[in-house]
Amino acid sequence: MSEFLNFHYDVDGENFVSAGQASVELKKVLRRLGFPPETIRRLSIAMYEGEINMVIHAGGGAADVDIYEDKIVIRLIDHGPGIADIDLAMQEGYSTATDSVRSLGFGAGMGLPNMKRYTDEMRIDSTVGEGTTITMTVFITK
Amino acid sequence: MKISRIKELLEAEVICGEEADLEREVHSACGSDMMSDVLAYVKDQAVLLTGLVNSQVIRTAEMMDMVCIVFVRSKRPNPEMIEIAKDSGIVVMATKKRMYEACGTLFANGLNGAQV
C-alpha cells in the first residue's frame, strides 16, 4: 500500500432488512487485505453499529473508509436530525429509538458506546437539523 | 463444547449447517434478544441464543464471527435469513426450549458465558 485505499458505501435508510450490507462488504475487503481477525472484528462491529444508527435515526447516509498502512479510518456521514446532547447519547443505555426499533433488537442505547469501545479514537461532529459525522480510527498493531 | 452436543442437549433441529460444521467447538455463549447487547460482547467461537427473528440477528453473528445461532421457543428463521447464514457458514438451529432453560442447560453442562 503506497498511500491509502478508499472505499465508499451508501447506506440505504429505507431498508432495515438490508442494513449491515456495507459492513459485510467492508469485512470482506479487510479479510482480503489480510488484516488480523481481531482488528477486522472491531472495525466490522463499529461500522455495523454505525450503519444501524444511520438507518434508525438518520434515514441513511454514507460511509467512507480509508485504509492506511498503520490505521483504518471510518467516516460515517448522515444528514439526519443531529445529536443534541452528545454526552447523553454516549451513555450506555440511553436511547431515543422507538419501540418498533427495539422490537427489532436495537435501540438498547449501546450503539455509540460500542463504537467507542471497539475503536481507538472516535469523534462526533453533529449539528441539530443538519446531520452527524462520526470519525472512527483503529490503529493497526503489527 | 461441540455444536453437535448443543444440538443434543437442546433437542434442537438443525436448519442449516453441514455435518462437518457440527463438529466445531464453541467456547462461550450469549443469550439475548437485544442485538446491541450482543455486540457489546466479543468472544471467539461463540454461540448466540435468541428469540428474535430478523436478518439482523444473522448479521450480528456474522460481524462477531459467531459460529452458531440457536432460536429458542420454536422460532424459525425465514429463507432470506437462512441464505445469509449459509453464506457466512453459520450453523442455525431451533429448539422448543425457552431462553432461560436453553441457556441454563448449556451452562450446567459446562458452556460458560463471556468474561465480563
Tens-digit pLDDT profile for residues B44-66: 779 999 999 999 999 999 999 99
Mean pLDDT of the B77-92 span: 96
- Least Cα separation, residue A103 to chain B (angstroms): 8
Mean pLDDT of the B29-43 span: 88
Residue B112 lies in a domain: no
Residue B115 lies in a domain: no
- Residue by residue, DSSP assigns A63-118 as EEEEE-SSEEEEEEEE-SS--S-HHHHTSTT-----HHHHTTT--SS-HHHHHHHH
Residue B78 lies in a domain: yes
Distance CA A113, CA A75 (A): 16
The count of CB pairs under 8 A between chains A and B is 70
Distance CA A80, CA B37 (A): 24
**B59–A contact, CB cutoff 8 A:** yes
**B42–A contact, CB cutoff 8 A:** yes
- CATH number, domain A5-139: 3.30.565.10
**A60–B contact, CB cutoff 8 A:** no
Q: Hey, are the CB atoms on B37 and A110 less than 8 Å from each other?
A: yes
For B65, nearest residue in chain A (alpha carbons): A41
- Least Cα separation, residue B1 to chain A (angstroms): 22
**B65–A contact, CB cutoff 8 A:** yes
- Predicted pLDDT at A15: 87
Residue B37 host element (H or E): helix B35-39
Q: Which grid coordinates belong to B106? A: 448449556
For residue B80, give its domain range.
3-107
Q: Taking Cα atoms as reference points, which of A31, A32, A23, A36 lies closest to residue A65? A: A23
Q: Which residue has the cell 487485505?
A: A33
For A23, nearest residue in chain B (alpha carbons): B63
Residue type (1 letter), B99: M
Residues of A in contact with B52 (CB under 8 A): 104-105
Helix axes A111-118, A37-57, angle to 10 degrees: 160
Residues of B in contact with A45 (CB under 8 A): 39, 42, 63-64
**CATH number assigned to the domain comprising residue B75:** 3.40.1390.20
How many domains, chain B? 1
Q: Is the pTM of this model over 0.90?
A: yes
Residue B113 lies in a domain: no
Residue B114 lies in a domain: no
Residue B103 lies in a domain: yes
ipTM exceeds 0.85: yes
- Tell me whether strands A60-67 and A71-78 are parallel, antiparallel or unpaired: antiparallel
Distances (CA, A) of A3 to A97, B78, B90: 39, 44, 36
Nearest to A23 among B37, B57, B63 (CB): B63
Distance CA A138, CA A140 (A): 6
pLDDT digits (tens, 9 = 90+) for A14-32: 888 889 999 999 999 999 9
Is the pLDDT at A70 greater than 60? The verdict is yes
Residue B52 lies in a domain: yes
Residue B81 lies in a domain: yes
For A27, nearest residue in chain B (alpha carbons): B63
Taking CA A32 as the corner, what is the angle to CA A34 and CA B15, rounded to the nearest 5 degrees?
A: 110
Question: Residue B16: which residues within 8 A CB-CB, separation 6 or more?
Answer: B82, B85, B86, B90, B91, B92
